[in-house]
Every structure is written in C-alpha cells, then in structure tokens.
C-alpha cells in the first residue's frame, strides 16, 4: 500500500470517528464506564510486562484494572517525545522492554533501528475490533518482510489551544499565523519543529511559499532546506513571540495554566483534558488543517513476556477500554463501538475541536525517514538556541 493510500485511510478514519461520536451522542445519555471481563488463563495468569509508554495514553484505571483482572504486573517507563523513545531503544537495543509505542509515521526510523519483532496476528482475539482504516494505516507503513510490526492504540491531532479568558482573537479565522500576530507577542507555546511546520502550512495557504502543504520538504534534503531555511529565519527573527517551548503533555498544561500562555500549537489531549475539567481552555483546528497522528503498539525482539503482551493488547482492543483511554486522555479511540463508552463532555469537545468541515482538511504526519528526522532536529535546535 502506498503512503498516499495510508494518508487517505487515516483521513477516512477520522471522519468515521466524527460520525460515530455524533451518532453516539444522539443515541446515548451519560455513559458509565464498565471494564470488560479479562479472564485468567494458563498463558497470562501471572508474570509481568515491561511497557515503554507515552506518559498520558493509559489514563486512570486502564492499567490497574488489567493488573487486577489478570495478575500481570505492568512495569511502566514513560516518555514524552518520540525522540526520547527512539534514543532509549537505540541505547538498550530494546533490552528490558516488551512493548513500546511508536507513532505510525516513525516507521522508517524504527525499521532502521531493527529492534522490533512482528506480531503473531493469530494470537490476537480482538484485532477485528480495530477500525479498518486505522489498521490500514499501520499496515501501509509497518508491514515489512517478516510481518506487521505496529498495531493502533489511539489517534489525535496537533492544532491550536488557547485560554478562553485571555486570547481575544477571532476563532472563526484561527490560523497557524495567529501565533505570530501582535496581540499574542510573548504569550505563545509550541514545539520547535512544530512551530516551523505550522509557519510552512500558513505560508503555503497564503501563497507566500508554495510547498504542497509542506509535503515537498519530505522529497529530499535539498527540498527540505529550500523550504525550511526561510521559515527558520522567520521563526528566529520572531522568537520574542514564544513564551515557552513545550516538551510534554504536563508542560503543555502548565504553560496554559501557570506560565501565561494565551495561544499555542499543541496536542489535543492535554488541552481537552483541561477543558473537560472546566478550565478556561479551548482547542480548535485552524483553517490550514489540524496535524494528525496515530500512536500504536510495537513488540520488541528482546521481549521475554510475549504472551502477556498479547493479553494486554486484547484488553486494549475492546470498546470499553478504548473508550476509557480516549475519555481519560482527550485523544481519540481506534476501536469500533468505543464512542459509546466516552462521556458526553468528550463528544462535545470533539465536535467543537473540529468545526464545520475541519475533518476533511486534516494533515497526517507523513512517513519520516531517518535523514528527515536528523535534519529537523538540527533546525529545531537552531531555533531554540537563537
């Protein structure tokens, strides 16, 4: 399957998720969470599982309920960025871990690492619950000679979060360019490389620097430098607009609530979690399109607890648990029927995050080869050090 096919599948999945949320919102009232029965068996009734995990993608009782039901102890090693995960696996060769959590677009880098092993799909009882379009996204980029190395866990986006009591801009005209307007000078946040991408998407939409929505920068190093050089100069010249560079979900939240950030380019989960708690925070796709990603589950060659891995994935791939993950994290489920196990607040926040035809204008992260990741890190470092 081609990369463009994978992108279309991810866009389709997001639109299907939107329809499912709206249908569930109309058909159900407040939903109480229930936990699927996970029975003990000879293969997964004891032992442990070593999980290298995103810090905010297993919220609340997701892991405790699994441990209680199965007797399997999950040893958690959290990280906050893909680079942190990759560096840890590179340093250890994957030793000490059974399961990790790559973003789907990082497939080329993980293939180069050569520390993962394919799943035995016959051991997964609930694989049929995964939304077909989400499954197709994993298969398009992570199906190598020896099998499939990635399964979906949740999806989300990167767009604009804001303080509803402090940001006075027109939300109907929200743009990545809004981050660089005079009214927010000294009050914005973002990741270094995401700021640069957002500027590129803004300039492309305005016709200032055509880039095929920045996809041309993925062609080769020359095209990358041609597009990123002028953007980097703009970012450095306007660094006074940046209040902070965030590097984790928690750092994003503290920026909004404690560090006088009014507007930022952030993930959806942290902002929507604050909004769900009743904080004066909003999150919305800009007119250039929200940047979308899908995080998954990948088994390490060094895994010594593979049966426990399969038991855990079967648990995660139930509607009840996928709904619990989404509702607790602010990210989105990848399992058919999971929307019925999310709250009315989650459904409302999702609809408000993607108004109008926003789900038709998403920008999925393309597959990122190692050369791209290395160059991007260099440009980000220059921006942050300036």
Per-residue pLDDT tens for 225-283? 999 999 999 999 999 999 999 999 999 999 999 999 999 999 999 999 999 999 999 99
Q: Are 364 and 8 in contact (CB under 8 A)?
A: no
Q: Are 64 and 273 in contact (CB under 8 A)?
A: no
Confidence at residue 39, expressed as pLDDT on a 0 to 100 scale: 45
Name the residue ranges covered by the structural domains of the chain: 3-155+292-360, 158-290+370-385
- Report the chain (386 residues): mean pLDDT per 10 consecutive residues: 46 56 39 44 68 97 97 97 97 97 98 98 98 97 97 98 98 98 98 98 98 98 98 98 97 98 98 97 98 98 97 98 97 97 96 96 96 97 98
Confidence at residue 11, expressed as pLDDT on a 0 to 100 scale: 56
Q: Are 119 and 299 in contact (CB under 8 A)?
A: yes
Confidence at residue 46, expressed as pLDDT on a 0 to 100 scale: 72
CATH superfamily of 158-290+370-385: Periplasmic binding protein-like II (3.40.190.10)
pTM: 0.89
Q: Indicate the CATH number of 3-155+292-360 among 3.40.50.12780, 3.40.640.10, 3.40.50.720, 3.40.190.10.
A: 3.40.190.10
Q: Are 223 and 217 in contact (CB under 8 A)?
A: yes
Indicate if 158-290+370-385 has the same CATH topology as 3-155+292-360.
yes
CA diameter of the chain: 63
Q: How many Å apart are CA 294 and CA 303, to the nearest integer?
A: 23
Token pair for 348: 């409302």
Q: Are 96 and 302 in contact (CB under 8 A)?
A: yes
**Which of helix, strand or coil describes residue 267?**
strand
Confidence at residue 59, expressed as pLDDT on a 0 to 100 scale: 97
128 CB contacts (<8 Å, ≥6 apart)? none
- Cβ-in-10-Å burial (0-12, 13-18, 19+) of 88 comes to middle
Confidence at residue 60, expressed as pLDDT on a 0 to 100 scale: 96
């Amino acid at each position: 399957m081609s990369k463009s096919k994978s992108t279309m599948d991810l866009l389709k999945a997001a639109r299907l998720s939107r329809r499912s949320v709206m249908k569930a919102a109309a058909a159900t009232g407040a939903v109480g969470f229930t936990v699927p029965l996970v029975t003990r068996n000879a293969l997964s009734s004891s032992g442990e599982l070593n999980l290298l995990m995103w810090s905010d993608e297993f919220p609340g009782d997701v892991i405790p309920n699994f441990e209680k039901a199965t007797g399997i102890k999950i040893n958690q090693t959290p990280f906050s960025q893909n680079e942190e995960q990759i560096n840890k696996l590179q340093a250890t060769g994957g030793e000490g871990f059974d399961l990790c959590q790559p973003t789907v677009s990082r497939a080329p880098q993980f293939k180069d690492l050569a520390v993962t092993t394919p799943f035995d799909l016959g051991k997964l009882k609930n694989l049929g619950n995964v939304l077909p379009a989400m499954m197709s996204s994993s298969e398009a980029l992570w199906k190598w000679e020896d099998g499939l190395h990635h399964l979906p866990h949740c999806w989300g986006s990167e767009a604009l979060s804001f303080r509803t009591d402090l940001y006075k801009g027109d939300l109907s005209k929200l743009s990545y360019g809004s981050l660089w307007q005079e009214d927010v000078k000294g009050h914005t946040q973002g990741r270094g490389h995401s700021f640069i991408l957002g500027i590129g998407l803004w300039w492309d939409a305005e016709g200032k620097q055509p880039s095929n929505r920045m996809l041309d920068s993925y062609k080769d190093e020359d095209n990358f430098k041609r597009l990123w050089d002028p953007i980097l100069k703009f970012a450095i010249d306007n660094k006074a607009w940046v209040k902070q560079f965030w590097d984790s979900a928690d750092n994003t939240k503290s920026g909004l609530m404690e560090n006088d950030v009014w507007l930022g380019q952030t993930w959806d989960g942290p902002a929507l979690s604050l909004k769900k708690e009743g904080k004066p925070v909003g999150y919305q796709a800009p007119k250039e399109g929200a940047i979308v990603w899908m995080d998954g589950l990948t088994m390490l060659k060094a895994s010594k607890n593979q049966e426990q891995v399969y038991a855990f994935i079967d648990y995660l791939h139930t509607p009840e648990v996928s709904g619990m993950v989404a509702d607790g994290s602010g990210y989105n489920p990848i399992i058919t029927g999971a929307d019925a196990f999310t709250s009315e607040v989650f459904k409302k926040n999702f609809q408000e995050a993607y108004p109008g035809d926003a789900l038709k204008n998403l920008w999925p992260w393309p597959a990122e080869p190692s050369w791209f990741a290395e160059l991007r890190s260099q440009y980000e470092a220059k921006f942050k050090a300036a």
